[in-house]
């Protein structure tokens, strides 16, 4: 079974600075997707960024980028120029690519606090 681990329950960053959230996963599959989702307080979960395992290039979305290390099974999220609106729970998630169901397996989350 696949597992996703986020070892940082809480992180704090000063506004305008950069922060990196860590995620490791365990799988025997070779082809899969990885995601970072953001869940603001009392609001719905939204997709921040996704990475296809077969792509060597790290995904980027504006201020958000990932460091995908397939051999190490590591998938960290870097947030540059942090903004107050970035404060939220961040969840790393895994999904197999070629299998019926495509359900997401989530990590336990990291609460990000942004200090003004």
Partner 1 sequence: DTGVSQNPRHKITKRGQNVTFRCDPISEHNRLYWYRQTLGQGPEFLTYFQNEAQLEKSRLLSDRFSAERPKGSFSTLEIQRTEQGDSAMYLCASSFEKTGVMDETQYFGPGTRLLVL
CA–CA distances in Å: residue 65 to residues 14, 19, 105, 112: 18, 11, 21, 16
| Cβ-based nearer residue to partner 1, 43 or 71 | 43
Contact mark string toward partner 1, 62..91, x via CB under 8 A: -----------------------------x
> CA 9: distance to chain centroid?
13
| Binding segment toward partner 1, per CB under 8 A, in 11-19, 44-52, 62-70, 79-87 | 44-52
| Cβ-based nearer residue to partner 1, 11 or 104 | 104
Q: Is 101 in the site for partner 1 (CB under 8 A)?
A: yes
CA–CA distances in Å: residue 12 to residues 17, 60, 78, 99: 10, 22, 13, 37
| Cβ-based nearer residue to partner 1, 62 or 116 | 62
Positions that interact with partner 1 (CB under 8 A): 4, 6, 37, 43-47, 50, 91, 93, 97, 100-109
């Amino acid at each position: 079974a696949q597992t996703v681990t986020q070892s940082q329950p809480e992180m704090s960053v000063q506004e305008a600075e950069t922060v990196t959230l860590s995620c490791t996963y365990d799988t025997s599959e070779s082809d899969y997707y990885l995601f970072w989702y953001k869940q603001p307080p009392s609001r719905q979960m939204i997709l921040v960024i996704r990475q296809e395992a077969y792509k060597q290039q790290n995904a980027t979305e504006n201020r958000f980028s990932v460091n995908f290390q397939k051999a190490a099974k590591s998938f960290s999220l870097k947030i540059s120029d942090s903004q107050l609106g970035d404060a939220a729970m961040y969840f790393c998630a895994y999904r197999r690519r070629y299998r019926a169901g495509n359900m997401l397996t989530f990590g336990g989350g990291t609460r990000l606090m942004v200090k003004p």
